[in-house]
Structure 1
Amino acid sequence: MRVSPRTRDFAAWVHPTEDLVAVCPNCHAMLHRPKGKTLTVDELVEKMKQAGTNSAGG
């Protein structure tokens, strides 16, 4: 079962290798930066690409 970023139901099964992504502390902070919305890793990568940042993993 996949868990959305907004799910607070900790009874849901989370598969560590499929549902979790390791990120550095700076990226983790950026994922939670927008008020009221947690970005997905893909959304953050896209924002970094649009901003011309080379740290977006590609």
Structure 2
Amino acid sequence: MLGWAVTFFIIAIIAAVFGFGGIAGAASGIAQFLFFVFVALLVISLIANALRGKSPRV
């Protein structure tokens, strides 16, 4: 999911350079949304693993 966020961010930068403001805005909005979903899922995963009490495998 983080890869998709980076992809949309790069699309937004390229679109902004070429002057496509609408596409750049939409792509940056999608990238921002995906990034926050990724962070939320990461935090939920970390909390769930901490509550489970198992140590990570090495």
TM-score scaled by length of structure 1: 0.28
Structure that is richer in helix per residue: 2
Pick the structure with greater CA Rg: 2
Structure of higher RCO (CA pairs closer than 8 Å, 6+ residues apart): 2
